Structure 1
Amino acid sequence: MNASIAVPSTGHWFRRLLAFAGPGYMVAVGYMDPGNWATDIAGGSQFGYTLLSVILLSNLMAILLQALAARLGIATGLDLAQACRAYYSKPTCIGLWLACEAAIIACDLAEVIGTAIALKLLFGIPLLWGAVICAADVFLILLLMNRGFRALEAFVIALLTVIFACFAAQLVMAQPVLSQVLAGFVPHTSIITNPAALYIAIGIIGATVMPHNLYLHSSIVQTRAYPRTPEGRRNGLRWAVTDSSIALMLALFVNAAILITAAAAFHSRGHTEVVEIEQAYELLSPLLGVGIASMLLAIALLASGINSTVTATLAGQIIMEGFLQLRIANWLRRLITRGLAIIPVLVVTSLYGENGTARLLVFSQVVLSMQLPFAVIPLVRFVSDREKMGELATGRWLTGAAWAVAGLIVVLNIKLLYDSFIAF
């Protein structure tokens, strides 16, 4: 689908922005998937508004990294996986591919749990059967992909609108104290010194900055038919970064709204033990005094799970083709990935009951965070290399900011491993 979507070279700026709008929103899906819900609800109920600063930081990191991913795709005509294959040794590529596949499985694990929980809350379907039903989403993927990339984008944006509307309504119902919300966006040292807070903070970063999104964005940004000339690439990059930045601000609102709602509804009322989506569903309406509050949570969760399914499948195909030059049917790819995600859900649910899936959900987000350096470091190296990028190579300040983000991710992961080892 490279260069399959026409973009106007002249006319009103808003018309050109609409032509480029789409890839950013597909990427934004990964920043508000069910994995975010678990970490945001746990963070809000246990620590109030404290972790809002982590959500803000992770979102700024996401905006920067996704802009770099778009820059790579537009400047070189390669996605991140193809660039790795072109410039790294085969063993290195295999290692990076395996790390990325682990991230996709962890992401898919969160989608399975989130969608299954939504089916249970809305229709009373047991969690085990809901997880099995999730495998049937392969037919949705096939239908959308057969209708073209623009139809895929329209579907994703429609569900994002549903999620946004649900949480906007919940924020109004929760009536948070504005001064406390604003104070939450100021970083606190307790986030680093408290191992429990750090664990959730790293989970938030892992749930927000998704490794496979960097591969996805660097590929799908090339669906726009901007002129493949120096001037055309510069204009294409400008519009692509605008698109992704606007979309990720929507993701910031949704993630912050989840945590704010949990803090206002649970933490402020002494319910600091709420760490599961189902607990939040059961308590939300009684505590807020609005019957529809819990239903809005479940509807948004289902929309989030379906949306994440679409983008994760596309990212998986891009990664496999880029690293291995191996193309398999979308339905087969989806069944393999989803099968690997369903197995741990079935095992944990059978052994520990449905309560065990909440811990599995948060753990999957920490796994995602652990995979981030394997995507971020190659990306920063490529975009700062003038031989590969030409005039679109990052400048000194942007390169410094990118390496600072990569360094922060590595340090946080080392701290998490150390705390986990000491606890063990």
Structure 2
Amino acid sequence: MLDPKVPADATTVPAARSAVLDDAHVGDIKGALGTIRLDDTTPRHGLSARLRTLLAIIGPGLIVMVGDNDAGAFSTYGQAGQNYGTQLLWTLLMLIPVLYVNQEMVLRLGAVTGVGHARLILERFGRFWGAFSVIDLFLLNALTLVTEFIGVTLAAGYLGLPKAAAVVLAAAIIIASAFTGSFQRFERVAIALCVGSLLLVPIYFLVHPKTSQMAHDFVVPGMPGGAGQLAAVMMVIISIVGTTVAPWQLFFQQSYVIDKRITPRFMKYEKVDLWIGIAVVVVGAAAMMGLTAAAFAGTDGFGQFSDAAAIAQGLEDKAGRLVGVLFAIALLDASIIGAFAVSLSTAYAIGDVFGIKHSLHRGVKGAKGFYAVYAGLVVVAAAITLLSNGYTQGLMTQFVQVLAGVLLPSATVFLLLLCNDRAVLGPWVNGPRTNAFTSAVVGVLVTLSLILTAAVVWPDITSDAILWIMTGCGVAGVLVAGYFFLFGRQGTKEDPIDRTGREDWRMPPLETLAKPAMSTARKVGMGALRAYLLIAMVMVIIKIVQTALHH
């Protein structure tokens, strides 16, 4: 049921058609770059009208993508460039369709359901299965937030600023920006930080990487190093996957779309917003790898990555103090926007799960629990950062990115199941092509984590063994796909999907929906996936400990 205290700019949605949990999620769209009134149903004809609508909608896709180029991303892309040149650039090209498909699905879920990702998982799969996904989010987000403040200390250290003061000031900015009680003001700050991320572009041109080599490595896959380096290379690849397609993004964008009050009517504009964000994040990631590769090529630092502050020093040695300072400012900007997004993602999820008011449209008095969670996460992460040392921070940053890559298959499976739930999405459910692509993505992610596990257990594993693992996973994937194609739909006679009038379709209240049936095959499959991912996570921890002991 909706809260009876409806904001002045909101219109109550009929209870029979709305699942919205917080009435502040209903009303005018008040974006950083424009406003769309709730009663504005005028068709958008002409370039000017469409552009004004797009400017008002822009935000969720851009922020979630740029927020992913955070402090951990600086470390991951920097490590790839410093240790392996531009030979891993192809991973970014491969991840573009994954970025779009994953985020388009959560965008759809948010606009159509009005309910956050964590709440949907718990309601549709039950607490036993849903708890796995939600606990993953909370654990990973807490660790990720610490890495954002690690980025602040690295940037401050290079710039010659007191680290403790920088962390405290950054935490104060992050908290204050959300505590204004205005969604629009928060989004303006966030988009300003997104613009700041474009500092990587002039740095790229000042460093002058080899554009022809980058273009080649962007489209032609290659694996650097020999067999002895395979475990380290696989760690970096999975880190790239984990930092580029992070699980927290799924929870953030769905809740942020809801809080911005975006409905299915504006779906095509939000997809454009998402593509803009993807373009910015891929350009930034490629620039990071390229400029880092150019800075350390032919130097003693090549292959000796330590942290982002060392990258700033390497850039200074290559192209002058100005370039190093610009890089440190870009790192500081990325750390703050990453902290914004990760903290907000967690606060939204907790608000969804425990039924507390959770909206940036509300002041602190109107959503005390929501703001307390947000501020508490920031304060604790800042404190942990100040109490840890440099080497521990470096290991934690790497561990978080790899862990995100290992846990991503599980998050993607829940997302895929939700997007095939007709009670939830009705005429907006996935089509066959989206299902096939997403299933293939899950298979590739599991294969990567399996290779990582094997490389940790057998550090001298050969390329032939890797090929056998990939072949085995491919055969298993074909067998599973064949089973579901031949037997998965037996006994089900679902009507064809009628997508007419879907712009006006919204999910009914959750309590009115019939619970989905969990077949034995699905339970076994999900249980096996969780068990394997737990083993893979343990292997990652072992690898990190081995690295620490070797150091």
Q: TM-score, normalised by structure 1?
A: 0.89
Superposed CA deviations along residues 72-129 of structure 1, whole A, max 9, x for unmatched, are: 1122222211211221112222222211111101211210100121222224324xx2
CA-CA distance at 1:401 after TM superposition: 0.9
1:178 equivalent to 2:208? Answer no
Superposed CA deviations along residues 382-415 of structure 1, whole A, max 9, x for unmatched, are: 1123342111111111111111122222221222
**What is the 5 A alignment of 1:233-382?**
233=264, 235-269=265-299, 271-272=301-302, 273-288=304-319, 290-325=320-355, 329-338=369-378, 341-342=381-382, 345-346=385-386, 348-349=388-389, 354-382=390-418
1:2 equivalent to 2:32? Answer no
2:68 to 15, 26, 31: 31
- The letter for the 2-side match of 1:168 is V
- The letter for the 2-side match of 1:39 is T
1:205 to 236, 241, 246: 241
Aligned 8 A contact 1:120 1:130 in 2: no
CA-CA distance at 1:246 after TM superposition: 0.9
Superposed CA deviations along residues 215-271 of structure 1, whole A, max 9, x for unmatched, are: 111122124555x6xxxx2x4221111111111210111111111101111135453
Moved more, 260-269 or 103-112: 260-269
CA-CA distance at 1:295 after TM superposition: 0.3
Distance of 2:167 and 2:90 partners within structure 1: 37
Superposed CA deviations along residues 127-146 of structure 1, whole A, max 9, x for unmatched, are: xx268626x62564244342
CA-CA distance at 1:380 after TM superposition: 0.9
| Matching residue of 2:476 | none
Aligned 8 A contact 1:206 1:369 in 2: yes
Please give the secondary structure, in 2, of the residue aligned with 1:146: coil
| Matching residue of 1:158 | 192
Q: 1:24 to 1:112 in 2, by over 3 A?
A: same
Using the aligned pairs only, state the percent identity.
22
- How many residue pairs end up in the alignment? 409
Distance of 1:97 and 1:244 partners within structure 2: 24
Please give the secondary structure, in 1, of the residue aligned with 2:25: coil
- The letter for the 2-side match of 1:372 is L
CA-CA distance at 1:59 after TM superposition: 3.6
| Matching residue of 1:137 | 171
- The letter for the 1-side match of 2:131 is I
| Matching residue of 1:396 | 432
Q: 1:187 to 1:381 in 2, by over 3 A?
A: farther
Q: TM-score, normalised by structure 2?
A: 0.69
Superposed CA deviations along residues 319-373 of structure 1, whole A, max 9, x for unmatched, are: 1122333566345323543455456645641xxxx24422321222112222222
Distance of 1:159 and 1:268 partners within structure 2: 34
Q: 1:392 to 1:91 in 2, by over 3 A?
A: same
Aligned 8 A contact 1:112 1:342 in 2: yes
Q: 1:329 to 1:357 in 2, by over 3 A?
A: same
**What is the 5 A alignment of 1:398-413?**
398-413=434-449
Distance of 1:413 and 1:30 partners within structure 2: 24
Aligned 8 A contact 1:106 1:367 in 2: no
| Matching residue of 2:510 | none
1:168 to 177, 180, 201: 201
Distance of 2:252 and 2:439 partners within structure 1: 21
Q: Which runs of 5+ in 1 are unaligned?
A: none
Aligned 8 A contact 2:105 2:419 in 1: yes
Distance of 1:81 and 1:138 partners within structure 2: 27
Distance of 1:422 and 1:345 partners within structure 2: 33
Distance of 2:452 and 2:165 partners within structure 1: 32
Report which structure shows greater RCO (CA 8 Å, sep ≥6).
1
| Matching residue of 2:149 | 112
Aligned 8 A contact 2:347 2:371 in 1: no
Distance of 1:110 and 1:286 partners within structure 2: 26
| Matching residue of 1:146 | 180
| Matching residue of 2:3 | none
Cα RMSD of the aligned pairs, angstroms, is 2.4
Q: 1:340 to 1:405 in 2, by over 3 A?
A: farther
When Rg is computed on C-alpha atoms for both structures, the one with the higher figure is 2
Distance of 2:233 and 2:138 partners within structure 1: 28
- The letter for the 2-side match of 1:133 is V
| Matching residue of 2:51 | 14
Q: 1:60 to 1:145 in 2, by over 3 A?
A: farther
